[in-house]
């Protein structure tokens, strides 16, 4: 990010659309960092000091929490054997093996249930919302960690694919009932600039007064073209060509439609039930 780059320019970089919003705004470093967020998967061989990690986790857990129930936890993985075990589960992500920091963010409905036992009170909210509250809390903590890490020059990469191996990860980390992995996280000092991913425009994801996706198809077509102009997905990266063939134009929407055309992580409900959650 260039020093004193205008917010309007950062918005244009993020969405591929010119805007007058923020054209007079400079010096808002936190806002600029958020707009310039990038995923980093390559790190320098440089440790993240424990004291700095403590600060970042303190910032992470300063995130909003539903009703102040604080239903998130994190496991910081320092055991190299455990880090290796997780890397072996996900061979497509070799940086898991060598990243300076590896963590798993957790939804934690166990703690409040234990507190109810401590205070001899019933836990009367044993239904689907108990899971959702913990998942949202963990997501907020995770995002706060990323914001804090980027503010001090670190890069991060959330790892949702650990949920493909949710039972193995839970066993490895000795997760008790009512605790579940939301996402892994790698962090470290980045060795490159990372990749800024063009996002869907406000016309698709911002609704005024009521939900309206009547213009979804033309907006997605335009978005695909803007994104392809910046980074065209090469033919060898097209998914499931045996099933769907090679597309002449392979944009974001074609890629994502192919991605979700097969079942993935359908073991999540069974895991949650096994861990004691009532999903009714």
Task: Give the pLDDT confidence of 76-102 residue by residue, as tens digits.
Answer: 999 999 999 999 999 999 999 999 999
Residues 6+ apart with CB under 8 A from 6: 22, 23, 24, 25, 26
Task: Please check whether residues 220 and 243 belong to one and the same domain.
Answer: yes
Asked if residue 42 belongs to a domain, the reply is no
Reference 271, options 175, 185, 184; nearest CA is: 175
Task: Please check whether residues 184 and 91 belong to one and the same domain.
Answer: yes
Q: Quick check: 87 and 96 in contact, CB under 8 A?
A: yes
Q: Which residues pair with 108 in a beta bridge?
A: 179
What is the predicted pLDDT for the residue at 24?
Answer: 80
Task: Please check whether residues 6 and 134 belong to one and the same domain.
Answer: no
Among 161, 178, 195, which residue terminates a domain?
A: 195
Asked if pLDDT for residue 170 goes beyond 60, the answer is yes
Asked if pLDDT for residue 69 goes beyond 80, the answer is yes
The continuous run of DSSP H or E covering 57 comes out as: helix 50-60
- State mean pLDDT over 120-142: 97
Reference 271, options 260, 263, 279; nearest CA is: 279
Asked if residue 273 belongs to a domain, the reply is no
Task: Please check whether residues 54 and 190 belong to one and the same domain.
Answer: yes
Nearest-10 Cα torsion for 124, 267, 93, 85: 80
- 3-class DSSP state of 96: helix
Residues 278 and 154: their CA atoms lie apart, in Å, by 38
- State mean pLDDT over 205-228: 97
Q: Quick check: 179 and 109 in contact, CB under 8 A?
A: yes
C-alpha to C-alpha distances, 161 to 43, 93, 145, 223, nearest whole angstrom? 20, 10, 19, 26
What is the bridge-based pairing of β-strands 179-188 and 101-108? antiparallel
> Where is average pLDDT lowest: 52-56, 194-198, 237-241?
194-198
Q: In the sheet that 101-108 helps form, which strands lie side by side, from edge to edge?
A: 72-76, 101-108, 179-188, 155-159
Q: Which residue has the tokens 């400079």?
A: 26
First to last CA, the chain: 47
What is the predicted pLDDT for the residue at 84?
Answer: 98
Task: Please check whether residues 222 and 123 belong to one and the same domain.
Answer: no
Reported as a pLDDT band with limits 50, 70 and 90, residue 25 is confident
Asked if residue 44 belongs to a domain, the reply is no
C-alpha to C-alpha distances, 125 to 90, 128, 278, 280, nearest whole angstrom? 35, 9, 9, 11
Structural domain including 242 reads: 202-259
Task: Please check whether residues 169 and 236 belong to one and the same domain.
Answer: no
Nearest-10 Cα torsion for 203, 205, 211, 216: 60
Average pLDDT of the chain is 95
- State mean pLDDT over 213-242: 96
Q: Quick check: 19 and 12 in contact, CB under 8 A?
A: yes
- DSSP structural state of residue 78: -
Asked if residue 117 belongs to a domain, the reply is yes
What is the count of structural domains for the chain? 3
> Where is average pLDDT lowest: 13-22, 26-35, 110-119, 252-261?
26-35
């Amino acid at each position: 990010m260039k020093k004193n780059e205008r917010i309007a320019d950062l918005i244009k970089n993020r969405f591929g659309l010119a805007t007058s919003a923020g054209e007079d705004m400079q010096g808002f470093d936190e806002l600029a960092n958020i707009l310039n967020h990038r995923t980093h998967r390559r790190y320098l061989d440089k440790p993240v000091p424990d004291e700095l990690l403590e600060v970042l986790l303190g910032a992470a857990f300063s995130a909003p929490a539903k009703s102040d129930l604080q239903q998130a936890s994190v496991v910081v993985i320092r055991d190299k054997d455990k880090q290796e075990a997780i890397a072996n589960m996900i061979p497509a992500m070799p940086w898991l093996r060598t990243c300076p920091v590896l963590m798993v963010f957790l939804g934690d409905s166990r703690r409040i249930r234990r507190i109810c036992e401590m205070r001899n009170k019933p836990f009367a909210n044993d239904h689907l919302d108990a899971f959702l509250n913990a998942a949202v809390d963990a997501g907020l903590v995770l995002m706060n960690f990323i914001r804090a890490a980027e503010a001090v020059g670190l890069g991060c990469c959330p790892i949702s694919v650990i949920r493909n191996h949710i039972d193995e990860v839970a066993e490895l980390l000795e997760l008790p009932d009512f605790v579940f992995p939301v996402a892994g996280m790698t962090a470290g000092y980045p060795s490159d600039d990372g990749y800024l991913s063009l996002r869907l425009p406000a016309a698709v994801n911002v609704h005024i007064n009521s939900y309206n996706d009547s213009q979804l198809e033309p907006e997605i077509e335009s978005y695909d073209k803007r994104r392809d102009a910046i980074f065209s997905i090469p033919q060898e990266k097209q998914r499931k060509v045996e099933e769907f063939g090679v597309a002449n134009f392979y944009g974001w929407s074609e890629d994502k439609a192919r991605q979700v055309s097969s079942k993935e992580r359908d073991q999540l409900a069974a895991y949650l039930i096994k861990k004691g959650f009532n999903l009714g």
